[in-house]
Amino acid sequence: MHRDYLVGELQRESRLAAYALVRGIAPTFAEADWHALSDGSRPWRIISVRDVAGRVRGLAVYSLRMHPRAGLLLDVPIFIALSAVGNQEIARSLFACLIEEASPCHFLRVWNEFPHNLKQMEDTRFFRQWDHGLIFRVPPG
């Protein structure tokens, strides 16, 4: 079943609803970390998928970062597609948007485990590891 979803930068008025999704997946991810992550002062960007009623159904948090092995890497520590119906379509929409954002990169990494906190997301040593996510080669062009 095809549904209409809006994919784009997380809107300020949707931050709390997006945090509710995060808490549903990772109840220990602190609200203060979410606010610091979503206030625009850090290099992280957040895209969301909203249904036609405006409800947040999915989100991805990502940053372009220089990795010692991969070069410029689109790093995605948070990827959530959560809905009673349409999960696959939501995930496809998010991933398509991430692939577009990753066009200057050779690789995109989606973490295989939800980060414990913002400190872990910004830990340089952890970022340099190559073993904590699914690595996708970004198609050229």
Question: What pLDDT shows up at residue 20?
Answer: 94
Question: Where do the H-state alpha helices sit in 4-45?
Answer: 15-25, 31-38
Question: What pLDDT shows up at residue 14?
Answer: 94
| pTM for this model (two decimals) | 0.93
Q: How far apart are CA 4 and CA 102, in angstroms?
A: 24
Question: What pLDDT shows up at residue 85?
Answer: 77
Question: What pLDDT shows up at residue 2?
Answer: 52
Question: What pLDDT shows up at residue 1?
Answer: 43
Domain ranges of the chain: 5-137
Question: What pLDDT shows up at residue 40?
Answer: 87
Which tokens hold the place of 106? 């050779």
Assign domain 5-137 to its CATH superfamily. Gcn5-related N-acetyltransferase (GNAT) (3.40.630.30)
Question: What pLDDT shows up at residue 87?
Answer: 87
Mean pLDDT in consecutive groups of 10 residues from the start of the chain, 141 residues: 81 94 93 94 95 92 94 96 85 95 95 95 92 90 68
